[in-house]
Structure 1
């Protein structure tokens, strides 16, 4: 009996399952994508004013293998000083994927980015970010964000 059950479970797991998006999840997906888009737009503008509203108060930020603290701490001690030192920050080849696990949204973003500092060498990288978002009131907030980048091969 146990062997039959194991085979049935293994077979069921191997079979693709068609998932039909529920109407509220379609709206939620758009709302989550909008939060991520607003954040990316602020980075491109080199102006992070107002981005605190996109993050939960107790958020956690991880960047390239390091813990940066809450978004407020990350913004004050890392992001804002970096943006002030940049001449431009551009994204290309951007893709986003959002899925839901209960009340939580899991987002994965892939992209290329180019940073031109006011002084120094231009940096071109391939980046990835994973974010966990939750609904707070009527809006989605980023609870956790982890991003990293690497040099493209041949650079």
Structure 2
């Protein structure tokens, strides 16, 4: 199945989210208990964990080759492009990447899944500066054998509101 077809399926999947018979939801706690890439929630948690570990290779293994990444209003292209031109250089300046709050919900539709994440993150830069944000992300995942891979990932964040 090509990338365009998956995008159309994602749009169709969004409509099916309102139908509980076609979708299941996993809480973050449930996902943490079996957090492995054999579950869609586990794949998103593994992505979060790769960021915490500042491990670009571990994160890369979670994306399909023809993926799409969108961040804060910008189309970043594929995961490989996003890693090379945006996230990769940033990770080199991070001392720590933490997620003090993290929630994930998954709705599976056969071999596709739609994930919603709500979180806060804290980045400590190598020069000691700290960046704190509240964020959300949506992802389309595809089952490949006994693992789940991210096809499309869209995240946005803002400064926490007091």
Q: Does 1:50 align with 2:58?
A: yes
Deviation at 1:101, TM superposition (A): 3.4
Taking structure 2 as the reference length, what is the TM-score of the superposition? 0.74
Is the contact between residue 29 and residue 98 of structure 1 (CA under 8 Å) also seen in structure 2? no
Higher Cα radius of gyration:
1
CA–CA distance in structure 1, aligned partners of residues 77 and 49 of structure 2: 22
**Alignment equivalent of 1:85, drawn from 81, 93, 97:** 93
CA–CA distance in structure 2, aligned partners of residues 76 and 18 of structure 1: 39
Taking structure 1 as the reference length, what is the TM-score of the superposition? 0.77
Match of 1:106 in 2: 114
Gaps of 5+ in 2: 1-17, 25-30
CA–CA distance in structure 2, aligned partners of residues 106 and 20 of structure 1: 12
1:70-128 alpha-carbon deviations (Å, 9 max, x no partner): 10111111111111111111002211110123432000000110111112631111010
CA–CA distance in structure 2, aligned partners of residues 68 and 143 of structure 1: 13
CA–CA distance in structure 1, aligned partners of residues 22 and 69 of structure 2: 32
4+ aligned runs moved over 2 Å, structure 1: 16-22, 26-30, 100-103
CA–CA distance in structure 1, aligned partners of residues 82 and 58 of structure 2: 14
CA shift in 2, pair 1:18/1:123, >3 Å: closer
Instruction: Report which structure shows greater RCO (CA 8 Å, sep ≥6).
Output: 2
1:50 counterpart SS class: helix
2:120 counterpart SS class: strand
Q: Does 1:134 align with 2:142?
A: yes
Gaps of 5+ in 1: 1-15
